[in-house]
Amino acid sequence: MGALADKMKLKLELLGRSKHTVNAYLRYARKFVEFHRRSPEEMGEAEVQAWMQHLIVEKQAKADLLIGHIAAVKFLYIHVVGRPQVVSWLPSPKKRRKLPSVMSLAEVTRLIEAAPNLRSRAFIEAAYGGGLRIGEICELRIEDIDSKRGVLHLRACKGGKDRIAPLPARLLATLRDYYRAVRPAGPWMFPGKPKDHPIRRQSVYEEFRIALAAAGLTRKVKFHSLRHAFATHLLEEGVDICTIKEMMGHAWMSSTEHYLHVRTDRILAVGSPLDRLPPK
């Protein structure tokens, strides 16, 4: 895409989109261009339609992936090429609202204990203990750890917002042990390669999968499941939903209310009418 890719990247950054979103949009746009082997400026509605048909029929793309491709192509033609009529017909497919997978306290404990090293343990404890997203963990700076106030200062999170997350004593102890062992030069708490860059998300995923296998957890859980467990367990402990919304950094209450559907404490307390029938 050349100059168009540079222009697209700049416009996304000027609009305050996250690095993850910028990279995803550029990746999806390049796939569209590579599929037709022509410049977007030379293509129109027919090529966009052919690309969407390829994704839906041949690739059988799921809703999440399809939404990403549509958003990227729309951005390309509206904000970069300047031909919004090419994509004006594109719909916005509905995203399936799935219930999050929530780990139990016992499963989280097993996972932490199975972490292969201090860094992996810090990843898991930060996601569960502070409700951090994987990108927030990767870009955590040493100066963001406020041990005196017991909080983490998170910068430019989802939606470009800064927020404060809890710093549990157990996580602080793990971070201190990790710091003493590794002595990261900064600014990143978890430097990548090269060391003046933050660790890649893929590296965190890989270490999480190692811990998952070592813990013997066979059911399908993702790294983000730790953040789901953070919110759900707080709800079950009686923390009000408005506080949890702020701790999670949600823009909308509806995002937090989703966890009301997976809490089990009230369901277990009420029980089932079957158990109240006369015994056999």
Same domain, yes or no: 109 and 237 = yes
Is 228 among the catalytic positions? no
- Give the per-residue pLDDT at 188: 96
Return all residues near 44 (Cβ < 8 A) that are at least 6 apart. 83, 86
For residue range 147-172, list pLDDT tens digits in order: 999 999 998 787 778 889 999 999 99
- Give the per-residue pLDDT at 115: 96
- Give the per-residue pLDDT at 96: 66
Low-confidence ranges of the chain (pLDDT < 70): 93-97
Is 250 among the catalytic positions? yes
Task: Answer yes or no: is 249 within a domain.
Answer: yes
User: Is the pTM higher than 0.85?
Assistant: no
Domain that holds residue 24: 3-86
Asked if residues 268 and 243 have their Cβ atoms less than 8 Å apart, the reply is no
Q: Residue 39 maps to which CATH number?
A: 1.10.150.130
Looking at 37, 57, 86, which one is the last position of a domain?
86
- The one catalytic residue in 30, 54, 79, 158 is 158
Same domain, yes or no: 45 and 159 = no
Same domain, yes or no: 134 and 249 = yes
Q: Residue 261 maps to which CATH number?
A: 1.10.443.10
In terms of DSSP bridges, do strands 151-154 and 145-146 run parallel, antiparallel, or are they unpaired? antiparallel
Task: Answer yes or no: is 138 within a domain.
Answer: yes
Is 224 among the catalytic positions? yes
Is 20 among the catalytic positions? no
Task: Answer yes or no: is 230 within a domain.
Answer: yes
Same domain, yes or no: 183 and 256 = yes
Task: Answer yes or no: is 251 within a domain.
Answer: yes
Number of domains, the chain: 2
Same domain, yes or no: 172 and 211 = yes
- Give the per-residue pLDDT at 155: 87
For residue range 166-178, list pLDDT tens digits in order: 999 999 999 999 9
Looking at 86, 118, 134, which one is the last position of a domain?
86
Is 133 among the catalytic positions? yes
